């Protein structure tokens, strides 16, 4: 069957069961948009290309499918870069299509030409500049395979306009074909046996679970291991929702703004079982004093992460679900509760806490009320900053994959378009965005996308009239020399929402927020809630730079 490459691209999407594409059109990508006109695939028109990337990202995280974003050449492509970097650092499976100038003009500084494959080479799992029209079907098949297997990540395909217009005899490959790309899934049997022996002999085990648990779909295997060996579980930020937030073995998040009891447990454990986590700096603090008494078992699909930051006694390269299944089949139950009793005592001695006076509205209280009214089952997107950490601390996730947030890159502006993408992928489910007044203003134009697509995202803005986390760092490290962190002007977010035809509320006190949350969740369409919270509230505990994680302070 002879069709254009642009039409073939759309057929490839259909073969990969793509249901939704997030994008913004322009001249060089128009052949693809023209072909998309006759397809059943839904296209979500965002208001900025960065929004397309973050929306595709949120869609992928919340559904477990490969997200797809599309933009034109030049500024369209470069506007995707931040979102691509974000997805790369958080291991999110995406396929990104960019238009490109005709091949005869590549390298001539033509109108809206940039070398997007060169720009994105360090932040994509792989990328392609398609020069041979006949190669497009194979490129697409390989792109989806690369994006979704091994350690997931974004793959970019740059499509020159003349290639998109070329005619080919279309046939979609049944299988991906790539020499040199063979992720290890099963894990080495000898290393798995060594891990089992360490688990059997340990007296104070702690399970340290990251986002790899969610990527591998290993939630049940994680819970079985924890309950069988009576090991407390702590999550990285990206791992939150992989273990029930209300489970008695759950320690919450560890590290920079982790719970004191999680950090103490890791510091005093004799075995640290690291699953789908990468020992990043926000987790470890001072590496020389991180889990100093522990032997370390590290399971990860990416061999480059094992031993990169922390010395490992038993390295296991493989899919964490497969490896855990084999470990679980070999271990015996542990019945000694001595270690758990000590951990439980730390929980009682060092709880997360804050105080709220009459007439105040504390941000932690807002999160607790959102949790109370959703039962931990909503999908919660966040931006980056203090509000993000309060969600990590006070919202107890009870559904896998329910947190949609920027971890590795820490990208302000991620939240709203990501929530839009998550809601597009989860019709009929509750999707909540918790954001800050600074983050929200970076991409708030995507409220138009939510309205146009009839996506009932509930937006809670923790409005403290400043860039809260940066202000906190200035307070702690720079003697309260607040420079460029306090807003002299903010829009009225309630009026802003009404300009988009969205229902909106403002909450000023703790007495108001309970009813406001209830109303917002009951409204069928999108809602914006402007929460006027205390301006000087800090995220605590906090581990200062150069300190061990068991030396956290209140600030």
Mean pLDDT to the nearest integer, 431-441 = 98
Q: How confident is the model at residue 519 (pLDDT cuts 50, 70, 90)?
A: very high
313 burial type by CB count under 10 A (0-12 exposed, 13-18 middle, 19+ buried): middle
Distance, CA of 209 to CA of 333 (rounded, Å)? 20
Distance, CA of 67 to CA of 78 (rounded, Å)? 18
Tally Cβ neighbours within 10 Å of residue 111. 11
Q: Which of 469, 493, 537, 542 is labelled catalytic? A: 469
Query: Above 80 in pLDDT, residue 321?
Result: yes
Q: Is 105 noted as a catalytic residue in this protein? A: no
Bigger pLDDT: 535 or 171?
171
Q: How far is CA 152 from CA 146, 173, 183, in A?
A: 7, 21, 11
Q: Residues 6 or more apart from 487 whose CB is under 8 A from it?
A: 437, 438, 465, 466, 467
Q: How confident is the model at residue 555 (pLDDT cuts 50, 70, 90)?
A: confident
Q: Which of 424, 554, 428, 430 is nearest to 60 (CA)?
A: 424
pLDDT digits (tens, 9 = 90+) for 456-509: 999 999 999 999 999 999 999 999 999 999 999 999 999 999 999 999 999 999
Domains of the chain: 2-169 (3.40.50.970), 189-349 (3.40.50.1220), 363-532 (3.40.50.970)
pLDDT digits (tens, 9 = 90+) for 187-238: 999 999 999 999 999 999 999 999 999 999 999 999 999 999 999 999 999 9
Query: Above 80 in pLDDT, residue 1?
Result: no
Q: How confident is the model at residue 430 (pLDDT cuts 50, 70, 90)?
A: very high
Q: Which of 112, 356, 445, 486 is labelled catalytic? A: 112
User: What is the share, in percent, of the chain residues with pLDDT greater than 90?
Assistant: 97
Q: Which of 17, 42, 111, 197 is labelled catalytic? A: 111
Which pLDDT does position 112 carry in this prediction? 96
Q: What's the CA dihedral at 70, 76, 79, 80 to 10 degrees? A: 20
Query: Above 80 in pLDDT, residue 2?
Result: yes
Q: Scanning the structure block, which residue is given the tokens 């029209």?
A: 133
Return the beta strands (E) in 49-179 as ranges: 67-71, 94-100, 126-129, 154-160, 167-169
Q: Which of 49, 113, 305, 446 is labelled catalytic? A: 49
Mean pLDDT to the nearest integer, 64-79 = 98
User: What is the share, in percent, of the chain residues with pLDDT greater than 70?
Assistant: 100
Q: How far is CA 487 from CA 247, 438, 465, in A?
A: 40, 9, 6
Question: Three-state SS for 306?
Answer: coil
pLDDT digits (tens, 9 = 90+) for 349-397: 999 999 999 889 999 999 999 999 999 889 999 999 999 999 999 999 9
Residue 419: enclosing H or E segment and its boundaries? helix 415-425
Q: Is 388 noted as a catalytic residue in this protein? A: no
Residue 511: enclosing H or E segment and its boundaries? helix 510-522
Q: Residues 6 or more apart from 300 whose CB is under 8 A from it?
A: 151, 212, 274, 276, 277, 278, 306, 316, 317, 320
Is the pTM value of this prediction over 0.95? yes
Q: Which of 125, 141, 161, 347 is labelled catalytic? A: 161
Which pLDDT does position 223 carry in this prediction? 98
Q: Is 49 noted as a catalytic residue in this protein? A: yes
Which pLDDT does position 196 carry in this prediction? 97
Q: How confident is the model at residue 177 (pLDDT cuts 50, 70, 90)?
A: confident
């Amino acid at each position: 069957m002879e069709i254009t490459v642009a039409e073939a691209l759309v057929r490839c999407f259909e073969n990969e069961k793509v249901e939704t594409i997030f994008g913004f059109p322009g001249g060089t990508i128009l052949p693809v948009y023209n072909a998309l006109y006759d397809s059943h695939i839904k296209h979500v028109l965002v208001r900025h290309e960065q929004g397309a990337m973050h929306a595709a990202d949120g869609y992928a995280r919340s559904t477990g499918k490969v997200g797809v974003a599309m933009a034109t050449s030049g500024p369209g492509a470069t506007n995707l870069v931040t979102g691509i970097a974000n997805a790369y650092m958080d291991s999110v499976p995406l396929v990104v299509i960019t238009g490109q100038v005709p091949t005869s003009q590549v390298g001539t500084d033509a109108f809206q030409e940039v070398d997007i494959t060169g720009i994105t080479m360090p932040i994509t799992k792989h990328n392609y500049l398609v020069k041979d029209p006949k190669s497009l079907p194979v490129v697409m098949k390989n792109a989806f395979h690369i994006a979704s297997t091994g350690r997931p990540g974004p793959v970019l395909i740059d499509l020159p306009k003349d290639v998109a217009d070329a005619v080919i005899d279309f046939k979609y490959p049944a299988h991906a074909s790539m020499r040199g790309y063979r992720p290890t899934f099963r894990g080495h049997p000898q290393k798995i046996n060594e891990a089992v022996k360490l688990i059997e002999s340990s007296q104070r085990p702690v399970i340290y679970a990251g986002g790899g648990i969610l990527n591998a779909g290993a939630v049940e295997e994680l819970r079985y291991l924890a309950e069988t060996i009576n090991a407390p579980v702590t999550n990285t930020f990206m791992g939150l929702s992989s273990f029930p937030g209300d489970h008695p073995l759950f320690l919450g998040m560890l590290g920079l703004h982790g719970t004191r009891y999680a950090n103490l447990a890791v510091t005093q454990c004799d075995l640290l079982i690291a699953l789908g986590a990468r020992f990043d700096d926000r987790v470890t603090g001072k590496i020389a004093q991180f889990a100093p008494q522990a032997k370390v078992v590290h399971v990860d699909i990416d061999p480059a992460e094992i031993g990169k930051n922390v010395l490992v006694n038993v390295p296991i390269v493989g899919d964490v679900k497969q490896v855990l299944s084999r470990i679980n089949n070999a271990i015996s139950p542990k019945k000694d509760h001595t270690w758990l009793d000590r951990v439980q005592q730390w929980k009682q001695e060092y709880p997360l806490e804050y105080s709220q006076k009459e007439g105040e509205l504390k941000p932690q209280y807002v999160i607790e009320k959102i949790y109370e009214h959703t039962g931990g089952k909503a999908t919660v997107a966040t931006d980056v900053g203090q509000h993000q950490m309060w969600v990590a601390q006070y919202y107890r996730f009870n559904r896998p994959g329910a947190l949609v947030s920027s971890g590795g890159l820490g990208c302000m502006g991620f939240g709203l378009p990501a929530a839009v993408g998550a809601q597009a992928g989860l019709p009929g489910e509750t999707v909540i965005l918790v954001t800050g007044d600074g983050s929200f203003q970076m991409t708030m134009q995507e409220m138009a996308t939510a309205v146009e697509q009839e996506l009932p995202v509930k937006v809670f803005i923790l409005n403290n009239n400043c860039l809260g986390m940066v202000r906190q760092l200035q307070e702690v490290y720079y003697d309260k020399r607040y420079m460029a962190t306090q807003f002299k002007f903010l829009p009225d977010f309630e009026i802003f929402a009404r300009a988009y035809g969205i229902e909106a509320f403002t909450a000023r006190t703790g007495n108001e927020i309970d009813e406001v949350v209830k109303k917002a969740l009951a409204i069928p369409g999108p809602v914006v809630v402007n929460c006027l919270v205390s301006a000087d509230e800090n995220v605590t505990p906090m581990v200062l730079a150069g300190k061990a994680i068991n030396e956290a302070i209140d600030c």
